[in-house]
Amino acid sequence: SAVISQKPSRDICQRGTSLTIQCQVDSQVTMMFWYRQQPGQSLTLIATANQGSEATYESGFVIDKFPISRPNLTFSTLTVSNMSPEDSSIYLCSVGQQGPAFFGQGTRLTVV
C-alpha cells in the first residue's frame, strides 16, 4: 500500500496568481496521476506523470496552464498557473505501480 500526503488541503487564491500542489508518497511508485473535479462534475484526468519522462496531458489540458514536476519516485507537483475563477475545483493526485490505486486527500482551490 501507499500513503499519500497532498498539500495544501485547501486554499483561496487571487486571480492571475499560481498555486503549486504537492503530492508526497511514503514509498516509490511508478505512476502518478493528477485529476480535477469542477463544481458539480466528475473527477477528470489532467495528466499522467511518470518519473524520468514528460507528463502526458489529456485533451483540454496544456502544460503551460498545468505544469507538472516529477523529480523522483515519491514526489510530484501540479501548478495551476495564471488562475481564473474557472479554475476553482478540487485537485486530486493518485499513485500506483501500474495504474491509479491510492489517492491523496484532495486540494480544494477557490479563485477569487
Partner 1 sequence: KNEVEQSPQNLTAQEGEFITINCSYSVGISALHWLQQHPGGGIVSLFMLSSGKKKHGRLIATINIQEKHSSLHITASHPRDSAVYICAVIYNTDKLIFGTGTRLQVFP
Which residue's CB is nearer to partner 1, number 64 or number 85? 85
Query: Residue 84 CB, nearest distance to partner 1 (Å)?
Result: 19
Query: Residue 50 CB, nearest distance to partner 1 (Å)?
Result: 10
Backbone dihedral angles phi then psi of residue 85, each to the nearest 5 degrees? -55, -25
- Centre a 10 Å sphere on the Cβ of residue 100 and count the other Cβ atoms it contains: 16
Alpha carbons 85 and 12: distance in angstroms, whole number: 10
Which residues are near partner 1 by CB under 8 A? Answer: 9-10, 31, 33, 35, 41-45, 48, 90, 92, 94, 96, 98-106, 108
Alpha carbons 40 and 34: distance in angstroms, whole number: 18
Which residue's CB is nearer to partner 1, number 73 or number 90? 90
